[in-house]
Amino acid sequence: MAKRSAEPRFRKLYDHARKKPEAFEDHPWGETVFKVNGKVFVFLGHPESSGVGLTVKAPPDELDALLELPYVHRAKYVGRFGWVSLTVEDDEALALALELIDDSYDLIAPKRLRTAQR
């Protein structure tokens, strides 16, 4: 996890994603991502990037409401498939980001791994 390990918000996101059942870290394109069953459920970004943010697959019924928030926008390249990017600059955004990691995991993971309770 290189340079960003000292950033507390990044560390919380990283640790939260890492604890998901059968989640594993990968670094395609130099970016930190977590996968389950070979599929990405969260992009945490490049270790040398400034700021903390992530990209996740949003629940379809929450997408429009999420896009109304000032720190959420449709993700580049995969946005048309329901992915959003968040900038995490405060505790409110961090709390939402942690929930969205859970949601994204549940949307991507096989049924046997999905969390019924968090």
Name the CATH architecture for the domain at 2-111: Alpha-Beta Complex (3.90)
Q: pLDDT class for 117, splitting at 50, 70, 90?
A: very low
Q: Which residue has the higher pLDDT, 68 or 7?
A: 68
Residue pLDDT, tens place only, 53-98: 999 999 999 999 999 999 999 999 999 999 999 999 999 999 999 9
Which residues have CB under 8 Å from 54's CB, separation 6+?
13, 42, 43, 44, 45, 85, 86, 88, 97, 100, 101
**φ, ψ (nearest 5 deg) of residue 3:** -60, -35
For the chain, domain boundaries: 2-111
Q: pLDDT class for 45, splitting at 50, 70, 90?
A: confident
Average pLDDT over the chain, rounded to an integer: 89
Q: Please state, as a whole number, how many other Cβ atoms lie within 10 Å of the Cβ of residue 67.
A: 13
Residue 4 has a pLDDT of: 46
Residue pair 84/56 in contact by the 8 Å Cβ criterion = yes
